[in-house]
Amino acid sequence: MSNDTLRDLSQNPLVQRLGVPRIPVLRRHSPGAPLLTGPALVGVIGAGAFAEPVRALLEDAAVEVIASPDAGDEGKVAAVVLDATAARTLDDLAAVQQFLTPAVKRLAPGGRLLVLSPESDPSEGPLAGPSIDTDVEAAAVAQAFDGLIRSAGKEVRAGATANLLVVSPDAAIGSSVRFFLSARSTYVDGQVVHVGPATVEEPADVEHPLAGRVAVVTGAARGIGAAIAATLARDGATVVAVDIPAAGESLARVANQAGGTALQLDITAPDAAQRLIAHVQERHGHVDLVVHNAGITRDKLLANMDADRWNAVMAVNLRSQLTINAALLESDVLSDSGRIVCVASTSGIAGNRGQTNYAASKAGVIGMVRALAPKLAERGATINAIAPGFIETEMTATMPLGTREAGRRINSLRQGGLPVDVAETVGWLGQAASGGVTGQVVRVCGQSLLGA
């Protein structure tokens, strides 16, 4: 589903000869496809405890593992993973550079650079040491990975990505490592995600990591929501697709294709939360994943903003999420491995002209996620936000050409994302095994240069 003519043209060698750089065609997941299409280079700094489980995960996925940038046949590698969780000093950081410099040279087009770094809070776990100065150096080193990875993301070429997992000593990293190495994370670039412990084991069938789970998706009749419904169903979930009655026909189509049920519901109605909960309780007894995707725009400069536009956007984008989440917390319908995923926007991070109402609502979603994460943690559940950047949808297809072209190109991958890229990210966060990821904001924006 691409209407990106420039990207298509740039594949032509004649066009490249005119000086137009090739815009990479991104690899996307298809059922049964291998995790990686080549070997993975896995390194470790000092006594890092995560390289071994990463190697085991890769070997389980039939990926050849190479231990050093100089080993193997010196050909390209599909992924570079560095366990730098034991890094505490500037000398350790120098060792990180010594590993990564030759390693990134070997990274194949569309490759994955994934670094695991320690938490920066000196009061947490192993960073607490006898000397305050040592703690301060360790905290500085931990934070240094942030700048390193965000810069590497801007350097790696040809559709390759670079991401950072900040992991606690007892973190459950499996589902996150698998996501970031796979083609499912193709438009997730330059991101920093904290991963903590989780009680739930890895899924038995990694091809269907949502098997047996019940998922509600709002705004599912079209666009990103329809892609989320299809992707969650592909990964094994039973989907309840929610949208307004006016979208009933396309909602029914999406629900049928996903093999799930349709619920016609205006999420701003006063009884929306109760109706939603009653529906899942009657049909399924519980819900494992709630995806707050429905959203609207009513753009106007602040100077010309009226209360109707302001309130309409707040009602759909923020108030409905607050109300439904409060009702979920009060009820026992959300399972113990419950996951809530809230769709925000990079507009809520970077701001966007004409979108004070929309950006305020989306920034509000991020605030809500951070406030609710500790409350949900008490019952083993998580809540995270996804902030999409420029995604190729009906909405972006109708933008004026100049605005559309600018939106597409100002990111490290030099193209827009697809609805499925947001959907795959929901699929990762929605897994029971992703219980260590909560309160996070993951941007699906190809490392947009705005609001980075």
> Known catalytic residues?
358
Which of 393, 415, 431, 438 is in the footprint of ligand NAD by CB under 6 A? 393
- Give the x-and-dash track for 226-265 against ligand NAD (CB under 6 A): -----------------xx--x------------------
Tell whether residue 267 is a contact of ligand NAD (CB under 6 A). yes
Report the alpha-carbon distance of residue 91 to residue 94 in Å, rounded.
5
Which of 24, 295, 430, 435 is in the footprint of ligand NAD by CB under 6 A? 295
Report the alpha-carbon distance of residue 36 to residue 316 in Å, rounded.
39
CB 348 within 8 A of CB 392: no
* Rg of the chain on CA atoms, in Å: 22
Using the rule CB under 6 A, give the single segment among 82-90, 116-124, 214-222, 398-406 that binds ligand NAD. Answer: 214-222
> Shortest distance, CB of residue 213 to ligand NAD, whole angstroms?
21
Report the alpha-carbon distance of residue 226 to residue 420 in Å, rounded.
9
Report the alpha-carbon distance of residue 198 to residue 172 in Å, rounded.
6
Residue-level length of the chain: 452
Which of 37, 89, 281, 396 is in the footprint of ligand NAD by CB under 6 A? 396
Tell whether residue 343 is a contact of ligand NAD (CB under 6 A). yes
Q: Which is nearer to ligand NAD, 214 or 391 (CB)?
A: 391
Q: Which is nearer to ligand NAD, 241 or 432 (CB)?
A: 241
Q: Which is nearer to ligand NAD, 37 or 311 (CB)?
A: 311
Tell whether residue 203 is a contact of ligand NAD (CB under 6 A). no
Q: List, as one string, the DSSP characters of 219-256.
A: STTSHHHHHHHHHHHHTT-EEEEEE-GGGHHHHHHHHH
Q: Which is nearer to ligand NAD, 54 or 188 (CB)?
A: 188
Tell whether residue 447 is a contact of ligand NAD (CB under 6 A). no
Shortest CA distance to 44 belongs to which of 1, 89, 99?
A: 99
3-state helix, strand, coil in the chain (%, to 5): 40, 20, 40
Q: Alpha helix (H) ranges present in 106-173?
A: 132-155
Tell whether residue 426 is a contact of ligand NAD (CB under 6 A). no
* 109 SS3 class: strand
Which of 24, 43, 223, 236 is in the footprint of ligand NAD by CB under 6 A? 223
The contact set with ligand NAD (CB under 6 A) reads 218-219, 221-225, 243-244, 247, 266-268, 293-296, 316, 343, 345, 388, 390-391, 393-396
